[in-house]
Structure 1
Amino acid sequence: MEAITNLSVRMVQRYLPSAFVLAVILTAIVFVLGMTVSGQSPVAMAGYWGDGFSKLFKFGMQMVLVLLTGYVLALTPAVQSMLTGLTRHTSTPRQALVLTIVVSFVCYYLNWGFGMVAGAILAREMGRRVAVHFPLIVAAAYGGELVRGPSSSIPLVIATPDHFMEDAIGIVPVSETLYSGWNIALTITLLVLLVIFFLLQKQPERIVRLDDSGDDRPDTQADATAGHSPAERIENSRWPTLFLGLLAAAYLIAQVVNQGFSINLNTIILIFLALGLILHRNSVAYLKATEKAVTAARGIIVQFPLYAGIAGMMTNSGLVTQFSEAIIAIATPGSFPLLTFLSAGLVNFFIPSGGGQWAIQGPIMMEAAAALGADPAQTIMAFTWGDGWTNQIQPFWALPLLGVAGLSARDIMGYLLVWLLISGAAIAGTFMLLAAFG
């Protein structure tokens, strides 16, 4: 295992381009496939790309704000003290890896947006305190991203009355998907495998340490210019950020009282925003932290529209439909969930958006499942796991974590490529057992 991982790390570091260049390469591949496989003209493919380019503007802004508000919250004195307490008794790389994996995995399970920021911040704190190979612990923090928990949109949509596919497949309750016995067992198995895999990794002789300049520590010193003018006294006063933070908190409390507790991206942003505003000492400190966080978000800002363009070409050229129909043609009722998992994983590499991929590919696969007599709940979860599986080697979803960690995709993808194979075997094996034993 160590030899395989070392080979993977060396190959990735040598040949994997930057996340931005990879997005451009994927764009070119889909552009060519649209012309050669779907028979589209270059003008048509360019049009599909342009039509899709702006589709992720809203989602991209949400992701920027998740990262920004989460990072700013992490720079508050209160959170830094909490991280210090959490890591105080962690003194060895093995302890650091286990704690980072378990905490990150649980956070990802509860909500992927929360897990993304929490895992990155914890890995960074571990890198600061423990002599651990920093790319290794960042990869370990990201490894749990594939888990499918209560915030997984596809099973939740299918369990909701009046969903857009109800006439074809009916309502499939989450007790048969997310909270089925086999899915819970698979989730626990993946956590155990993730811990074992990273504990088996040997620290290199020359470890890469966190490049810690100390500039992400909270500023607790009084501003030397405070009090020189009314404007400066207001800027260094506690009340502007406290008022805005309490306003956001009041809105969240009212939402819970009136509509019940529900976590989505907008909720996470508001929670992070409220806590960050309340816990920073004034607007000057908050904006200084924001300035540091904006740099970490640059990859999201530039690359999300590129993947929206890829999705536009994949969808409008008919490539997704053709690929899905080719899978259906060779499927049997028993093999269909497994093939759904593999096909969703492949398409996800080009359309790394679960909701967008489900809207395009989901109806085709579910109609085929009904025609074949395949289990709908298993098919739904196969699609859901496939959508998360190849995120391990798709830098799109790693961008927020990499931004906080200050690393590039090639620093962690060697480890994650091997983890992709291990986790894929576990997930595929589960669907094979379900097909064999029902």
Structure 2
Amino acid sequence: MQFLTRLCLKFVQTCLPNAMLLAIALSAVVFLLGVTIEGQSAYTMLNGWGEGFSNLYKFAMQMCLILLTGFVIAKTPIVARLIDRLVDIPDNPAQAAGIIAVVSMVTFYINWGFGMIVGAFLAREMGRRVPGLHFPLAVAAAYSGEIVRGTTASIPLLMASEGNFMQDVVGIVPITDTLYSWWNVALTLVLLALLYFVFTRVKPEGDEVKQFQGEPLNNDTGIVDTRQMPWAEKLEHYRLPNLVLALLPLGYLVINFQQLGFTLSLNLVILIFLTIGLLLQPSPASFGKAVKEGVLSCRGIIMQFPLYAGIAGMVKVSGLADTLSTWFVDIANVHTFPILTFVSAGIINIFIPSGGGQWAIQGPIMLDAAKTLGADIPQTIMAFTWGDAWTNQMQPFWALPLLGVAGLSARDIMGYCVMWTLLCGATIIAAFVLLSML
């Protein structure tokens, strides 16, 4: 384990550019592949990039709001005390890294945005207070929990929905056959155990250890002398305005859950975080201060998400995804098809780091082929879903929100993430090999 970790760290530190340069490099690679392999004109590729560039504006804003509202919650005294209790559990750095990994994966299973925030702030506090805990390792443990596909996994939920775009081909595929099948639940538990094992065995020593030196989550007493303030300024330091505003999202959430049941989406997570933040922050002034501190965490998202949207636009317009998918289909048989689906989804995910967008491009090809070959449809869907998650582990795109909170660069954690990518990828492939033998 130590040898593999050091090898991955050396590779990343030597070869991996920062996240912005990686996005630029991927843009150039996709442009050249579209022109040379697919025979597309420069005009077509440039047009695809421009058309795609704005496709993630909404998603980028959602990510910024999740970060900001999560930051507001984390900067409240009650949440700081809850994290304090978790931080008091481990007796050594290995246990601390394992707890971060497990808590992160469980919260990621509940919701992606929730897991990203909880993992980031737990890693910060563990890194600050557990002696000898290497902070980049703690952040990598928090991010590696993202491998899990949980209650909000878009692809199996889409395929279980009436009117989905592949219903005429494979019908409606219930989540009891995909996300909550016995074999997928078993694979999820195996990955959870593996994640804990891996991050409790990686032990940087001596000069390698870099402990987090930042401030605690809540170091503001909230006590403000308002005696000399005019009444309008005093109001900024009272709780009442927060409570009044909180009634709006709280009322909407109650109505929504009454009508639709307890289903979570990114927009609902943002409203939940906003409501909790308003209720827990002592005043509008403290709320605004927390937002001001959190804005810096959004800098990577604001510029790099549109760049990846442009890359996805070029991949789509060039036909690169279709070509690669078709090549995998041509060499597959009924037993190997889910495995090759997993690998192809992982490769294309590097260029289109959006599960729903990637499924819209690749899904029809893979499901048509699965039906023709007689391959298991639910296994094909979940193989694709896991493939989309697999290479997220070494793709800085999804790590940007967490890195923003942690104050690290992708290069700081990606050595550990590459090591985890290799191990979890081998485990998932082994699981589908076993399924093909049953």
Identify the residue that residue 209 of structure 1 maps to in structure 2. Answer: 211
CA deviation string 1:126-147 (max 9, x = no partner): 1121020011111111111011
Identify the residue that residue 70 of structure 1 maps to in structure 2. Answer: 70
8 Å CA contact 2:94–2:201 kept in 1: the answer is no
8 Å CA contact 2:222–2:282 kept in 1: the answer is no
Q: Does 1:260 align with 2:261?
A: yes
Identify the residue that residue 95 of structure 2 maps to in structure 1. Answer: 95
8 Å CA contact 1:76–1:218 kept in 2: the answer is no
| Count of residues in correspondence between the two structures | 436
Identify the residue that residue 86 of structure 1 maps to in structure 2. Answer: 86
Q: Distance in 2 between matches of 1:107 and 1:45?
A: 39
Q: Does 1:219 align with 2:213?
A: no
Three-state SS of the structure 1 residue aligned to 2:14 is: helix
Deviation larger for 346-355 or 95-104: 95-104
> What are the equivalent positions in structure 2 for 1:376-415 lying under 5 Å apart?
376-415=377-416
Q: How much has 1:67 moved relative to structure 2?
A: 1.0
Task: For 1:299, give the aligned amino acid.
Answer: G
Q: How much has 1:300 moved relative to structure 2?
A: 0.6
Q: Does 1:231 align with 2:232?
A: yes
Q: Does 1:57 align with 2:34?
A: no
Identify the residue that residue 171 of structure 2 maps to in structure 1. Answer: 170
Identify the residue that residue 200 of structure 1 maps to in structure 2. Answer: 201
Q: Distance in 2 between matches of 1:203 and 1:32?
A: 40
8 Å CA contact 2:98–2:197 kept in 1: the answer is no
Q: Distance in 1 between matches of 2:56 and 2:395?
A: 17
Q: How much has 1:225 moved relative to structure 2?
A: 5.0
Question: 4+ residue runs of structure 1 moved beyond 6 angstroms?
Answer: none
8 Å CA contact 2:44–2:317 kept in 1: the answer is no
Task: For 2:412, give the aligned amino acid.
Answer: D
CA deviation string 1:170-212 (max 9, x = no partner): 0111111111111111111111111111111122212101031
Q: How much has 1:418 moved relative to structure 2?
A: 1.1
User: Identical aligned pairs, as a percentage?
Assistant: 54
CA deviation string 1:333-374 (max 9, x = no partner): 111110000000000000000010011111111111111111
Task: For 2:424, give the aligned amino acid.
Answer: S
Identify the residue that residue 143 of structure 2 maps to in structure 1. Answer: 142
Identify the residue that residue 119 of structure 2 maps to in structure 1. Answer: 119
Q: Does 1:324 align with 2:355?
A: no
**Structure-2 change in CA distance of 1:257 and 1:218 (3 Å):** farther
Deviation larger for 280-289 or 251-260: 251-260
8 Å CA contact 1:155–1:174 kept in 2: the answer is yes
Q: Distance in 1 between matches of 2:205 and 2:163?
A: 54
Three-state SS of the structure 2 residue aligned to 1:343 is: helix
Q: Distance in 1 between matches of 2:314 and 2:404?
A: 28
Q: Distance in 2 between matches of 1:97 and 1:304?
A: 29
Identify the residue that residue 26 of structure 1 maps to in structure 2. Answer: 26
8 Å CA contact 2:87–2:130 kept in 1: the answer is no
Q: How much has 1:88 moved relative to structure 2?
A: 2.2
Q: Distance in 1 between matches of 2:140 and 2:392?
A: 12
Task: For 2:87, give the aligned amino acid.
Answer: T
Identify the residue that residue 301 of structure 1 maps to in structure 2. Answer: 302
Task: For 2:242, give the aligned amino acid.
Answer: T
Three-state SS of the structure 1 residue aligned to 2:350 is: helix
Q: Distance in 2 between matches of 1:227 and 1:254?
A: 42
CA deviation string 1:256-281 (max 9, x = no partner): 11221111101110011001111111
Identify the residue that residue 128 of structure 1 maps to in structure 2. Answer: 128
Q: Distance in 2 between matches of 1:168 and 1:110?
A: 30
8 Å CA contact 1:246–1:278 kept in 2: the answer is no
Q: How much has 1:218 moved relative to structure 2?
A: 4.6
Identify the residue that residue 350 of structure 1 maps to in structure 2. Answer: 351
Task: For 2:170, give the aligned amino acid.
Answer: I
Q: How much has 1:2 moved relative to structure 2?
A: 0.5
CA deviation string 1:360-397 (max 9, x = no partner): 11111111111111110000000000000000000000
Identify the residue that residue 5 of structure 1 maps to in structure 2. Answer: 5
Three-state SS of the structure 2 residue aligned to 1:176 is: coil
* Consecutive unaligned residues in structure 2, runs of 5 or more: none
Q: How much has 1:219 moved relative to structure 2?
A: 2.2
8 Å CA contact 1:53–1:306 kept in 2: the answer is yes
* Consecutive unaligned residues in structure 1, runs of 5 or more: none
Task: For 2:68, give the aligned amino acid.
Answer: L
Identify the residue that residue 156 of structure 1 maps to in structure 2. Answer: 157
Three-state SS of the structure 2 residue aligned to 1:350 is: coil
Q: How much has 1:227 moved relative to structure 2?
A: 4.8
8 Å CA contact 1:324–1:364 kept in 2: the answer is yes
Q: Distance in 2 between matches of 1:333 and 1:7?
A: 36
Normalising by structure 2, what TM-score? 0.97
Q: Distance in 2 between matches of 1:18 and 1:266?
A: 30
Q: Distance in 2 between matches of 1:348 and 1:4?
A: 24
Task: For 1:275, give the aligned amino acid.
Answer: I
Q: Distance in 2 between matches of 1:197 and 1:225?
A: 52
Q: Distance in 2 between matches of 1:164 and 1:218?
A: 51
8 Å CA contact 2:94–2:203 kept in 1: the answer is no
Q: How much has 1:246 moved relative to structure 2?
A: 2.6
Identify the residue that residue 46 of structure 2 maps to in structure 1. Answer: 46
Q: Distance in 1 between matches of 2:414 and 2:151?
A: 27
Q: How much has 1:113 moved relative to structure 2?
A: 1.5
Q: Does 1:339 align with 2:340?
A: yes
What do you get for the CA RMSD once the two structures are aligned? 1.2
Q: How much has 1:223 moved relative to structure 2?
A: 2.5
8 Å CA contact 1:226–1:236 kept in 2: the answer is no
Three-state SS of the structure 2 residue aligned to 1:326 is: helix
**Structure-2 change in CA distance of 1:87 and 1:226 (3 Å):** farther
Deviation larger for 105-114 or 345-354: 105-114
Three-state SS of the structure 1 residue aligned to 2:10 is: helix
Identify the residue that residue 35 of structure 1 maps to in structure 2. Answer: 35
Identify the residue that residue 361 of structure 1 maps to in structure 2. Answer: 362
Q: Distance in 2 between matches of 1:219 and 1:273?
A: 20
8 Å CA contact 2:100–2:141 kept in 1: the answer is yes
**Structure-2 change in CA distance of 1:37 and 1:185 (3 Å):** same
Three-state SS of the structure 2 residue aligned to 1:211 is: coil
Q: Distance in 1 between matches of 2:419 and 2:42?
A: 37
Three-state SS of the structure 1 residue aligned to 2:362 is: helix
CA deviation string 1:231-265 (max 9, x = no partner): 21121121111111232112111211122111110
Task: For 1:97, give the aligned amino acid.
Answer: A
